[in-house]
Amino acid sequence: MSQTVAKSNQTKRWQEMDAAHHLHPFTTHHELAKKGARVITKAKGVHIWDSEGNRLIDGMAGLWCVQVGYGREELAEAGYKALKELPFYNTFFQTTHPYAAELSAKLAEVTPKGIDRFFFANSGSEGNDSAVKIIRYYWNLQGKPQKKVIIARKKAYHGVTMASASLSGLTSMHPQADLPLPGFVHIDCPYWYGDGGDMTPEDFGLKIARRLEEKILELGAENIAAFVAEPIQGAGGLIIPPSTYWPEINRICKKYDILLHVDEVICGFGRTGKWFGSDTYGIEPDMINMAKGLSSGYQPIAAVGIGGRIGEAIFNSSEEWSHGFTYSGHPVACAVALANLDVMQKEKLVEKAGGEIGAYFQKKLKELEDHPLVGETRGVGLIGGIELVKDKKTREKYPSELDVGYRCRVHCFDNGLVMRAIGDTMVLSPPLVITKGELDELFGLARRCIDLIAKDLGRS
Ligand code: PMP
């Protein structure tokens, strides 16, 4: 398997410092130390460069976040201006500042109907932890403290803090920290290609949505606080729900008086071709969590959006709400997020993802289905997955020891493309500013790298 070979002394120096002192997210450290981390030094538009001068097209928009592309002066200037004017002030003790006030009002404009109040955090994980506390507080305020159980889904990814990791349904995340915490349960997710067998996607979507009803009836609606889910499951393998899934979930949550918290960290801000995944799928959330695309990743900022009955309950409570971070609504992060949303609106990036560019991306994605290694492609807007399989007819996967997805990703890195592997599903989620010409470059490289892994596996 090829890997990056550090050529320059500078690269080696950074790799050595990194190996000696830096703990990375989701990494087997001694393995990384042996080969040395790839050092990324600059980025512009839809491209990134490593310290050896190699240019890569970033098919993942960083980590599903750089909606407006890299190197945008508007965002840099907004951050610089805020740094000079008000580099920090908190929003505790009955204060605010123009950036937090204006960003809250802007979010009320673009978020799904009924969501009109925003709590700021610094990461998607903190947002979901805050959401769990809001859910508990809401039911306590209603005089229903027994409504405590939160139902989430297998293969869900909601972050890494204690509550967010408990919400997450990727089981590898749990044992190291003795999770999930009590009161978090996981039901099946609508992974039709993997689990649907002979069922139509529509029948399968209904069947899996009704798992929620079954779980509610099993545990008693009087004990269930909320259902938490991503519109499309991202880090769980790009799982696109069949059209029947979300309408049924809406119905069930309403029928049993269960709050619906929608994690829009990946799907928010145009990724699915509308402002939010909830808009794309007709989801009726009580609460949403957003991060990533909110600032295009230029600054760490997240927001939990509430409205309706939760908003009223918290707003009208006679006691102080005991929650908040030093950096909640950080002025620089809010200023950059405002500039980001301004660019998105001026350049009609959501409309493009839902229109011509999204359609072109989906067409190019679908074309990969003629490849002998590709079992299914699936996507919406500017997000897509390519599932690599051993047998197209039976959908049989390769044994996990073969690390097919990981090896394909290595080919991508070596050939100038960032494409993520989740198991054997290759994932794309490029900046929303990507052009048709750049999509041609991206899909040309994707096909070349799938050819290379097919060759390794003796499939061509
Ligand atoms: N929710 C979802 C749906 C995510 O994809 C992620 C991160 N990929 C998170 C929450 C956690 O966000 P963060 O890494 O900013 O804590």
Encode pLDDT of 208-241 as tens digits: 999 999 999 999 999 999 999 999 999 999 999 9
pLDDT at 415: 98
pLDDT band at 94 (very low <50, low <70, confident <90, very high): very high
Strand partners, 374: 388
SS3 6: coil
Distance 6 CA to ligand 1 centre (A): 31
The ligand 1 atom at the shortest distance from the C-alpha of residue 124 is 12
Mean pLDDT of 43-58: 98
Is-contact 58 43, C-beta < 8 A?
Answer: yes
pLDDT at 460: 75
> Given 3.40.640.10, 3.40.50.970, 3.40.50.300, 3.30.70.360, which CATH number is that of 73-346?
3.40.640.10
Give pLDDT tens digits for 118-163. 999 999 999 999 999 999 999 999 999 999 999 999 999 999 999 9
Q: Which residue ranges have their beta carbon within 6 Å of ligand 1?
A: 123-125, 128, 157-159, 230, 234-235, 263, 265-266, 291
- CA-nearest of 239, 244, 149 to 206 is 244
Give pLDDT tens digits for 367-390. 999 999 999 999 999 999 999 999
pLDDT band at 6 (very low <50, low <70, confident <90, very high): low
Amino acid at 158: H
Amino acid at 433: V
Amino acid at 372: P
Query: What is the reported pTM?
Result: 0.97
State the Cα–Cα distance between residues 32 and 365, nearest whole angstrom: 31
The ligand 1 atom at the shortest distance from the C-alpha of residue 264 is 3
Q: What share of the chain is helix, strand, coil (3-state, %, to 5)?
A: 45, 15, 40
Residue 296 token pair: 């295009």
Distance 324 CA to ligand 1 centre (A): 19
Distance 124 CA to ligand 1 centre (A): 5
pLDDT at 1: 39
The ligand 1 atom at the shortest distance from the C-alpha of residue 263 is 3
The backbone torsions φ and ψ at residue 159, rounded to the nearest 5 degrees and listed phi first, read: 120, -175
Mean pLDDT of 275-297: 98
State the Cα–Cα distance between residues 42 and 65, nearest whole angstrom: 16
Give pLDDT tens digits for 321-364. 999 999 999 999 999 999 999 999 999 999 999 999 999 999 99
Which of 158, 269, 271 best tests ligand 1's pocket when mutated (most atoms within 8 Å of CB)? 158
The CA-atom distances, in angstroms, between 131 and each of 4, 256, 323, 406 are 41, 20, 11, 33
The CA-atom distances, in angstroms, between 169 and each of 7, 82, 187, 240 are 40, 39, 9, 16
Which of 266, 272, 276, 283 best tests ligand 1's pocket when mutated (most atoms within 8 Å of CB)? 266
Q: Which H or E element spans position 408? A: helix 404-414
Mean pLDDT of 44-56: 97
Average pLDDT, the chain: 97
Distance 405 CA to ligand 1 centre (A): 21
In the sheet that 224-229 helps form, which strands lie side by side, from edge to edge?
A: 115-121, 302-307, 287-290, 259-263, 224-229, 149-153, 184-187
State the Cα–Cα distance between residues 98 and 104, nearest whole angstrom: 10
State the Cα–Cα distance between residues 90 and 431, nearest whole angstrom: 31
- CA-nearest of 111, 79, 170 to 289 is 111
Is-contact 25 33, C-beta < 8 A?
Answer: no
pLDDT band at 7 (very low <50, low <70, confident <90, very high): confident
- CA-nearest of 291, 257, 252, 285 to 271 is 291
- Percentage, residues of the chain above pLDDT 70: 99
Mean pLDDT of 46-70: 98
| Ramachandran area for residue 158 (φ above 0: left; ψ -120 to 50: alpha; else beta) | alpha
Mean pLDDT of 193-215: 98
Distance 120 CA to ligand 1 centre (A): 15
pLDDT at 2: 44
pLDDT at 405 over 50: yes
pLDDT band at 5 (very low <50, low <70, confident <90, very high): low
Is-contact 140 175, C-beta < 8 A?
Answer: no
Distance 457 CA to ligand 1 centre (A): 33
What CATH class is the domain 38-68+350-456?
alpha beta
Residue with tokens 């229903």: 144
Mean pLDDT of 183-195: 98
The domain locations on the chain are 38-68+350-456, 73-346
| Longest CA span, the chain | 69
pLDDT at 212: 98
- Percentage, residues of the chain above pLDDT 90: 98
